[in-house]
Amino acid sequence: MKNKQLITAAVIAALATGVIALVVVKIIPNPQSAFHPAMSESKAAQQSSPQQTAGTYATNPAAQNSTALPSVVVSSIVAPPAAVQPVAPDSGRHLSASEGGTLKRARAVLPQGQASIKVGDRTFAPRNLSSHFERIAIAGKQDVPVTLTWPADNTSGDVFVHAIQGGKIDGAENWKRIALNQSKKVNFTFTPDASPGLYQVVLRRGTHEEALEFWVPTKEPKFDPPTLQ
């Protein structure tokens, strides 16, 4: 009696499980078709007409490989750059745009001056080395007549003379503006102070500068620089 009851309960449980499973299948559809209808339709189409699908792949081989990259054809040819013509060194003129040059203002270079300096009974003609004349030895408080000429200068109207380390120009101040005469010459007298050392007299024409250099000897001649004397 007890065994029959157990068998009956097992059969009932099995039937109940089958009914629940059928109900679940009916209520919950295929998740692929629910969330991806396009996929489901494509799959259905392939299943319904396999011959049509095979024909598509047969007539279009590129469709067999969906990862193939499209080929790129370059139809334009890049021309090489035009040869650059060398530009001759600047000769002081303007270069036109057709010559490939950059327009620029011609830079005026003023000619260097020539000096004649009288020290006592001797007259020196110091060389002009990169706008600095050779150094000349003079005594403290000694009057030194100076003559400067710029025979090739056709642009300057005067010369600004300035004793930058002290001393006097023509017995007055340490500077003086002197007009250039017809022969492009200036004359003045430089008088240093009593202190030993270097005295420079700057000669300025526009923005161009040159310098006379004088040296008053110290009490230790071995420490004095080389000079004309």
Q: Examine the domain organization and report whether 51 and 146 are in the same domain.
A: no
| Residue 104 C-alpha from the chain's centroid | 19
Residue 173: give the domain boundaries: 114-223
Residue 207 lies in a domain: yes
Q: Which amino acid is at 129?
A: L
Name the nearest CA neighbour of 199 among 169, 156, 158, 155. Answer: 169
CATH number of the domain enclosing 160: 2.60.40.2950
Q: Is residue 102 part of a domain?
A: no
Judging by beta carbons within 10 Å of its beta carbon (0-12, 13-18, 19+), is residue 97 exposed, middle or buried? exposed
Residues of the chain whose pLDDT is less than 50? 19, 21, 23-25, 27, 31-40, 42-45, 48-59, 61, 63-64, 66, 72-75, 87, 89-107
Is residue 108 domain-resident? no
Q: What is the pTM of this model?
A: 0.54
Is residue 90 included in any domain, yes or no?
Answer: no
* Pair (138, 42) in one structural domain: no
Nearest to 213 by CA among 121, 110, 124, 109: 124
Judge whether 28 lies within some domain.
Answer: yes
Would you give the DSSP letter of residue 172?
A: S
Of 12, 31, 58, the one marking the end of a domain is: 58
CB 33 within 8 A of CB 47: no
Question: How many domains does the structure of the chain reveal?
Answer: 2
